[in-house]
Amino acid sequence: MPKQIGYAVVGAGDLTRNVLQAFAGAAENARLVAIVGADRAQAQVLAQEFHATAYHFDEFRQCLNRDDVQAVYVTTPNSLHSDYTVDAARAGMHVLCERPMAVTADECRRMIRTFQTNRVKFMVSYRLQFHPAFAKAMDLVRAGHFGALKTFSADVTLRVPSAEDVRLQRRLGGGSVYDLGVSCIAAARLLFGSEPAQVMAMTARMTRRYGGDVDESTVALIRFPDERLAHFHSSFGEEPASTMTLFGEEGWISLAPAFRHDVDTRLTVSRHGRVEETTYPLTDQYAAEIGYFSECILTDRQPDSSGIEGLQDVRTIEAIYRSGRDGRPVTLPRLARVEATVTSETETRKLDAVKRQAS
C-alpha cells in the first residue's frame, strides 16, 4: 500500500472545486490523480488547473484501471451516487461519497452490499464532524455538560441562483431536504446518540420562482427515543442562514453559522445562566475528512460516517417527504445495526484530523 492514497474525483460541479482544493491540505496521505466529469471540456480545464488527468463519465472504468488510483470521491448529482459508488467498489476502489448517500434507502442498501462484498472502505462526507466547533459541542454533550437533552433546532437556507441548478431537478435527486436538511438530520442523530422514531413534516413546492419540481421549503419535526425532539427548516428560496441549537435540562449550546465551511463559526454555551462565546476560524473540513478517510484506508480501519449512517439519514428523508405528501406522521421501524459502532479510538483519529487542519 502506498503512503499516499490516489483519488479520482467524480463530478465537476460547484462543490467539486472545494474538494479539489482540499487535496493540497491533505497531501500528507492523499493526492489527486484524476477528475471525471460529464462535460469533457470542463473536466480538462479543472484537471489542468489542479494537475490531474481528465476523463469523461464514459471513461470512468478506464480511470479505475489506473494503478495509481485507490479511492474515488463521488461529487455527482445525488441520483448518480449509487451507480458510481457501486461501479467503483466492484473495481476494488474505496469510496468517499458526498451526502446524502443516495436518493432512496434501497439504493443505500445496494451500495452497502457492494462494498461489503468487495471488502472496500466507504464513508459518507459529513464534513460538519470535522469542524472543531462541532467537535467541541460533541465533547460537551458526551460529558453531560447540559444534563438530559431535550430538543434540537436548526435552520439552513440558501438562494438558488438558477432554474437549471441540479438541486431543483427531481430526476437528479434535488430537493431542500436532500441538499440541506440531511445535515440537520445527521447532526441531531449524532448529538442525541440515537435514531429517529417518527417524523412529521410540511413541504412547499417550488412552482412560481423557478418552475422546479422539488420542494422549495420544508419544516420537519422528528421524535427521538426518551421524548427528545428535533426540528429543522430547510429552504432554497431565502437568504443564506445556518444555525443549530441543542437544549438540555441544564443549559444549551448553539453554532452559527453551523453548516458552512467558508466562514468563522461562533460557538455559544449557556449553562446555569452563564453564557460563553468562542469563535473558531474557518477550517478546511474537506481536507480533514479526506485525510481521515485516507488514514482509515492505510491502516485498514473502519471509518465513521459509514453506509449505515448514510442509510439512516436517507430513510429519514424519505419519511419526511412521505409525511409532507400524506399530511400525517410517519413511524420509522428500527434498523438493526450491522456495522461496528463508533469507538473512542475512531473519535480520537477524527479529532486528530480536525486539529491538523486547524493548526
Q: What is the CATH number of the domain that holds 18?
A: 3.40.50.720
User: Residue-wise pLDDT tens for the chain (359 aa)?
Assistant: 678 999 999 998 888 999 999 999 999 999 999 999 999 999 999 999 999 999 999 999 999 999 999 999 999 999 999 999 999 999 999 999 999 999 999 999 999 999 999 999 999 999 999 999 999 999 999 999 999 999 999 999 999 888 888 998 999 999 999 999 999 999 999 999 999 999 999 999 865 555 668 998 999 999 999 999 999 999 997 788 999 999 999 999 999 999 998 899 999 999 998 999 999 999 999 999 999 999 999 999 999 888 999 999 999 999 999 999 999 999 999 876 444 334 444 555 555 655 555 55
Give the pLDDT of residue 239.
Answer: 83
Same structural domain, 40 and 112: yes
Q: Which of 232, 253, 283 is the last residue of a domain?
A: 283
Same structural domain, 184 and 244: yes
Whether 242 is in a domain gets the answer: yes
Give the pLDDT of residue 197.
Answer: 97
Same structural domain, 213 and 77: no
Whether 313 is in a domain gets the answer: no
Same structural domain, 272 and 165: yes
Same structural domain, 96 and 46: yes
Whether 346 is in a domain gets the answer: no
Same structural domain, 245 and 181: yes
Whether 35 is in a domain gets the answer: yes
Same structural domain, 80 and 138: no
Whether 81 is in a domain gets the answer: yes
Global pTM reads 0.92
Q: Residue 32's domain spans which residues?
A: 5-127+286-305
Give the pLDDT of residue 344.
Answer: 42
Same structural domain, 135 and 262: yes
Same structural domain, 192 and 265: yes
- CATH number of the domain within which 194 lies: 3.30.360.10
Same structural domain, 14 and 96: yes
Same structural domain, 53 and 139: no
Whether 326 is in a domain gets the answer: no
Give the pLDDT of residue 339.
Answer: 43
Give the pLDDT of residue 343.
Answer: 42
Whether 185 is in a domain gets the answer: yes
Total domains in the chain come to: 2
Whether 324 is in a domain gets the answer: no
For 291, half-sphere exposure in the C-beta direction (CA atoms, 13 angstrom radius) is 22
Same structural domain, 79 and 206: no
